[in-house]
Amino acid sequence: MRRVLAAVIGAIVALVVAFLVVALLGALGGVPTLYEPERVNYGWAGAQYGILLFVGAGVMDVWLFPAIIFVGAVIGLFVDRARSRTRQHVRPAR
């Protein structure tokens, strides 16, 4: 049960980090608008538009979100495995 929970937490964290990175890149780097190529949105509008484009890409390319979820779950399992190994080797002080 602990490994399943670690995989679910890892998947959720991976999705949150992916959306935060896209929002940050959209806010700082700017996102060009669809029908006006010389206009670029920065800041809050750029973050919203970047996330909208990311969701659109995830819907059109079906593999994107499952790949992020899978990688996050695997990383969550590796972190859980590393934490359980460090707990086994640490002896409590007397």
For residue 54, the tally of other CB atoms under 10 A from its CB is 19
pLDDT digits 0-9 by tens, 15-62: 999 999 999 999 999 888 878 878 888 999 999 999 999 999 988 988
Asked if residues 27 and 44 have their Cβ atoms less than 8 Å apart, the reply is yes
Q: Which residue has the higher pLDDT, 35 or 70?
A: 70
Burial 16-47 (b: 16+ CB within 10 A, else e): eebbeebbeebbeebbeeeeeeeeebeeeebb
Number of helices followed by number of strands (H, E) in the chain = 3, 2
- Please say if the pLDDT value at position 86 is more than 80: no
Model pTM above 0.85: no
Give strand pairing partners of 32: 40
